[in-house]
Structure 1
Amino acid sequence: MHPASTPAANTPTTRGRRTPFRRHRLLRGLAAVAVALPLAFGAAACGGNDEPTDPNAPVELSIFWWGGEARAKLTEEALALYTKKHPNVTFKKTWQANQGYFDKLATLTAGGEPPDLFQIDDNYLTEYASRNTTLDLMPYKDSGKLDVSKFPESLWQYGVVDGKLAGVAFGENTQGMVYNKTLLARNGLPEPRTGMSWDELITWAESVSKKTKVPGTMDPSADYKAFWVWLRQQGKDLYQGKELGFTAEDVTRWFELWKGARDRGATPTPDVIHEGNATDITKQLVVTGKAATSFVWANQMPELKKNTKDELGVVAYPGDPGAQWARASMYFSVFRGSKHKDVAVDVINFLANDPEAGRILGTDRGLPSNLDVRKAVAEAVTDPAMKASIAVENELTAKFGKSPQVPLKGHSKVRSELIKAAENAQFGRQSPAQAAAAFVEACRAAIA
């Protein structure tokens, strides 16, 4: 999810969705960070001597996050609980909705006024960690001051960049294939299941198309989540070290798989597929009635349900579910130059592990990372769509594989280039091999 352009506590409610980000502005800001960091770290370079020796000394921490009014209210309540238990610690809170958040974060960091604590996601964690903007939290984890022992292992590890723990996961999510249960039941068709192969999915989707006249599945060839899971099922990955983890031949096979599905009528036509490639949850084909499935994040089930009267179900992506992992829906990181690093880390530890704080925060940022807290929160959930999302996530927890490395710098560009290349293949502007070659070339430039 990405944030919006206007900071303030009176920001109107906006759903936190991923939106395209003007990468050149981020890079300009981060380039300035490289110059500003030596100044920002001047006092902190002596090894944290700015930490107060008196544990009761007044401390004000600045904290910055994105989200709508509902998230702001919950976050402020949880922070107030921390202050209640630690009266000497108060917070300077700034939040904004969605678009433009990383523009603002880069500006604050480069301008010498970085927040002590800030929310971040896997699109940009490597960007900030590689410039030493984020504090390495691994020593705190190893000493027990930051407790991740109740997290799924692949979840906390998905915050490690170059051996350093750059952020703490503040919610778990994973890939989910959402399907229209009402449509299938009305036509006496079987539901998809976790563990079915990609070929089985396409055959199933073809039968749905023939029986219902509704295309059985969206074409996910432009969806980086689906491509990433498929790669891991082939023993590859999206990234390997500082390089791409796949070849043009891999991409060609992926594009050809879905060309075959389109040729069989298992998917919609390219113009409708294009609609499904939009990030807007209200335009997903499973809720617009233009396909029986959509490939999304599992925790988007409640938002999808708001946009259809039909009953929805969710399963893992096709293929071996061990290729999926406990993905951090977002993180909190600490600024490396913070004068109150220890207190900032303690706040993160509290928000992630305290049962009362967990009940306050609920599932707004995804399923709680701490499994004990998650169980308590899940028991209080009444929304059927969220219950379904939690059920599939819990089912997959035991099957999750090792987490991949956090995406490289340029990941957002890689995602947009996949959409461009896949649509060139979908519309027949290029062959699968031509589109794949162009995609790989663009990706190499993006991560260089």
Structure 2
Amino acid sequence: MALLSVGLLASCGNKSTGAANGKHQLTFMFRGGDAEKKAYGEAIKAYEKTHKDVTVKIIMTSADNYATKLQAAISGNKTPDVFYVEQNNLMAYADNGVLRDITKDVKKSKVDLNNIWKYGVDSYRYDGKQVGKGDLYALPKDVGPFALGYNKTMFEKNNIPLPDKDKAYTWEEFVKVAQKLTKDTNGDGKIDQYGTGFNVVWSLPALAWSNGADWINKDKTKVTINTPKFAHALQEFADLQNKYHTTPSVKESQSLDTYQRWMKGQLAFFPVGPWDLPTYSKLSFDYDLIPWPTMSTGKSAAYVGSLGIGVSKKTKYGEDAADLAIYLSTNRKAQQILVNNMIQIPTLKDMANKWANEKNHGKPQNRQEFLDIVEKYGRGLPGATTYNSEWYDMFYTDIQPVLDGKKTAAQFVKDEQPKMQSKLDAANQQKKTAEATAGK
């Protein structure tokens, strides 16, 4: 994996985009692993073949390092011409002059925005007050639905009926099946096969939303976790380990974490994102996707994320940079390259529908579940549309006593809400200050 170094940072920004052999050079910064590196290498080569006056310099970081490295580049006035935009940074980047408004560029390109996932496009609209409306400050690199996967081979070996791909388990049904699949398979007196192993950050939202609860109100001014419905959903999540015993304990996870257990075929249920497909294609067992279990609303809910591709407001070559961002997000050839490398589902809806219904496409069979989450029941994380996510991050920083069974969910949400509210108030005040500074 190529990591961003001081030398690479020096090659970003305004000074880097000069002509090379009579060509404009753009810098494109993104994050990922080997699959992303290969995919974008191919996509950029295809772009350069049809744009003879432009060369593109790729700058790649690991996922863990991306935010830090990008912020360093921005602070040093060496912002890449084109770069990944995380949802929770959109407002701050737009307000502080980091991102170019590409609304006119997109209109000029005649891209059909109706054929791009609405959730993806709206994630990068901003009217100066809220995300979801107004001008475009990026286009979606992808949409990332977090589906529920299950070990089909394990179900068959244990003579348990396969889940219905079109009808979700109720929570009670889900727990019972998970308990049946939690067992000692080799007779050594230790459980070595578990029903569940969910990461709280990515999986709790599915339960909370399906129970009619949320972290924040609609106008983003009030934290709303101190309710019976939220406490119930959180307690049920914690009880998977402490009451139902379908999730490995912290001690048991030290020797083998839940991701490793899933990879070894030792978990019945585990979340699956499109970015997992290259790795999961090599699994020794069969798996598929189903809707998330439902709580009191009777409806499934799930997290769907996105990364955007934005353009530096300070780039010397605004139109070329915008053209590259639009190409990577919406060009059919580029999308096909990215999809062939199994790093995402298509951003174009017609391509995605075709992708989901291809014959003999391998695991998972029910690709449609990804699309259903994006279009029907997925939501972005609450921290993605506030000025910063510190208030939301605090929830997970403090959550461990509940997961360990040392504190009830009801007591936790009562204690935590005022602390989170203080952080949210600070974020909203930061936004007001930024608006005033920008003359809005």
> TM over 0.5: same fold?
yes
Over 3 Å counting, the alpha-carbon distance change for 1:403 and 1:98 in structure 2 is closer
Tell me which amino acid in the other structure corresponds to 1:267: T
Tell me which amino acid in the other structure corresponds to 2:362: P
Equivalent residue number for residue 48 of structure 2: 83
Task: Report whether the alignment pairs 1:106 with 2:71.
Answer: yes
Over 3 Å counting, the alpha-carbon distance change for 1:112 and 1:263 in structure 2 is closer
The one of 366, 374, 388 equivalent to 2:344 is: 366
Residue 206 of structure 2 aligns to a residue whose secondary structure is helix
The one of 364, 382, 386 equivalent to 1:408 is: 386
Matched-pair contact (CA < 8 Å) for 1:262–1:268? yes
Over 3 Å counting, the alpha-carbon distance change for 1:245 and 1:262 in structure 2 is same
Tell me which amino acid in the other structure corresponds to 1:187: N
Equivalent residue number for residue 125 of structure 2: 160
C-alpha RMSD over aligned residues: 3.9
User: Gapped runs of 5+ residues in structure 1?
Assistant: 11-39, 42-56
After alignment, is 58-67 or 133-142 more displaced?
A: 133-142
Tell me which amino acid in the other structure corresponds to 1:254: A
The one of 167, 172, 178 equivalent to 1:199 is: 172
Over 3 Å counting, the alpha-carbon distance change for 1:124 and 1:345 in structure 2 is same
After alignment, is 154-163 or 135-144 more displaced?
A: 135-144
Task: Report whether the alignment pairs 1:118 with 2:83.
Answer: yes
Over 3 Å counting, the alpha-carbon distance change for 1:242 and 1:275 in structure 2 is farther
Equivalent residue number for residue 250 of structure 2: 271
Instruction: Output the CA distance in 1 between the equivalents of 2:362 and 2:195.
Output: 23
Equivalent residue number for residue 293 of structure 2: 318
Task: Report whether the alignment pairs 1:292 with 2:263.
Answer: no
Matched-pair contact (CA < 8 Å) for 2:148–2:290? yes
Task: Report whether the alignment pairs 1:327 with 2:292.
Answer: no
The one of 218, 235, 238 equivalent to 1:256 is: 235
Matched-pair contact (CA < 8 Å) for 2:223–2:417? no
Matched-pair contact (CA < 8 Å) for 2:242–2:404? no
Over 3 Å counting, the alpha-carbon distance change for 1:159 and 1:324 in structure 2 is farther
Instruction: Output the CA distance in 2 between the equivalents of 1:192 and 1:264.
Output: 23
Equivalent residue number for residue 155 of structure 2: 184
Residue 25 of structure 2 aligns to a residue whose secondary structure is strand
What does 1:142-157 correspond to in 2, within 5 Å?
145-157=110-122
Equivalent residue number for residue 352 of structure 1: 329
Instruction: Output the CA distance in 2 between the equivalents of 1:290 and 1:439.
Output: 34
Shift of 1:305: 5.2
Equivalent residue number for residue 431 of structure 2: none
Instruction: Output the CA distance in 2 between the equivalents of 1:334 and 1:445.
Output: 33
Instruction: Output the CA distance in 1 between the equivalents of 2:371 and 2:336.
Output: 18
Equivalent residue number for residue 440 of structure 1: 417
Over 3 Å counting, the alpha-carbon distance change for 1:416 and 1:205 in structure 2 is farther
Residue 376 of structure 2 aligns to a residue whose secondary structure is coil
Residue 285 of structure 2 aligns to a residue whose secondary structure is coil
Deviation digits for residues 200-219 of structure 1, max 9, x if unmatched?
Answer: 21232233337976665325
Instruction: Output the CA distance in 2 between the equivalents of 1:273 and 1:168.
Output: 42
Instruction: Output the CA distance in 2 between the equivalents of 1:325 and 1:269.
Output: 23
Matched-pair contact (CA < 8 Å) for 2:208–2:230? no
The one of 186, 198, 208 equivalent to 1:231 is: 208
Task: Report whether the alignment pairs 1:337 with 2:308.
Answer: no
Shift of 1:94: 1.7
Residue 101 of structure 2 aligns to a residue whose secondary structure is coil
User: Gapped runs of 5+ residues in structure 2?
Assistant: 15-21, 186-190, 427-440
